[in-house]
Structure 1
Amino acid sequence: MKAQDVLPDGKDQGIFHGVAVRKGTVGAFLANARVCVDPAAPPEAVAAARRDIQHAMPALQALGLFDILQVRDPALRDWMQALPGN
């Protein structure tokens, strides 16, 4: 399967298990996760990244991302598992 098979060119979002998921959601999650695990990241950047991750969790779960992949950083993984709805 190719990316365009999931979301064709010109389409910015799709519905997965009843949840609207924007193109770029997984990429944004990865960027935010990198901030969260960066020991040099300023606390306000980590807080913003965590807010963005929390907001994206329904979409990431609808995609089944965490059914296949596990967050390697224990602190980030524990924080995510403690979010409401997990």
Structure 2
Amino acid sequence: MRPQDILPDHQNDVQVNGVTVRKGSVGAFLASVRDWQDPASNDATRAAAEADLRALLPGLHALGLFRVLAARDPALQDLIEGVA
């Protein structure tokens, strides 16, 4: 399976189980995790990153990402599971 088989170049989002998932969601999640975990990030950056992570989670859950991947960071895994 190739990326264009899932989401062609001309398409920017996909509906999965009634949730709209935008192209770039996984990349945005990873970038936000880096900001959220970076000890050099200030409180405002960390809070913005967490808000972005929470906004991305429904789409990533709909894609099934966390059925095959788990976070090594317990705090991130709690956030993913909705515990945090």
Q: What is the CA distance between 1:74 and its match in structure 2?
A: 1.3
Does the CA-based 8 Å contact 1:36-1:76 persist in structure 2?
Answer: no
TM-score (norm 2): 0.91
**Structure 2, unaligned stretches of length 5 or more?**
none
Cα distance in 2 between the residues matched to 1:18 and 1:68: 21
Q: What is the CA distance between 1:80 and its match in structure 2?
A: 3.1
Q: Could you tell which deviates more after superposition, 20-29 or 36-45?
A: 36-45
Cα distance in 2 between the residues matched to 1:68 and 1:61: 11
Report how many residues are paired. Answer: 83
- Mapping of residues 12-51 of structure 1, within 5 Å: 12-51=12-51
- Which residue does the alignment assign to 1:64? 64
Cα distance in 2 between the residues matched to 1:38 and 1:66: 22
Q: CA RMSD in A?
A: 1.1
- Structure with greater contact order relative to length (CA < 8 Å, sep ≥ 6): 1
Instruction: Could you list the structure 1 runs, at least 4 aligned residues long, displaced by more than 4 angstroms after superposition.
Output: none
**Structure 1, unaligned stretches of length 5 or more?**
none
Deviations 1:4-36 (CA, angstroms, capped at 9, x unpaired): 011001100011122111000111000001111
Q: What is the CA distance between 1:57 and its match in structure 2?
A: 1.1
Cα distance in 1 between the residues matched to 2:80 and 2:63: 16
Q: CA distance change for structure 1 residues 79 and 58 in 2, over 3 Å: closer, same or farther?
A: closer
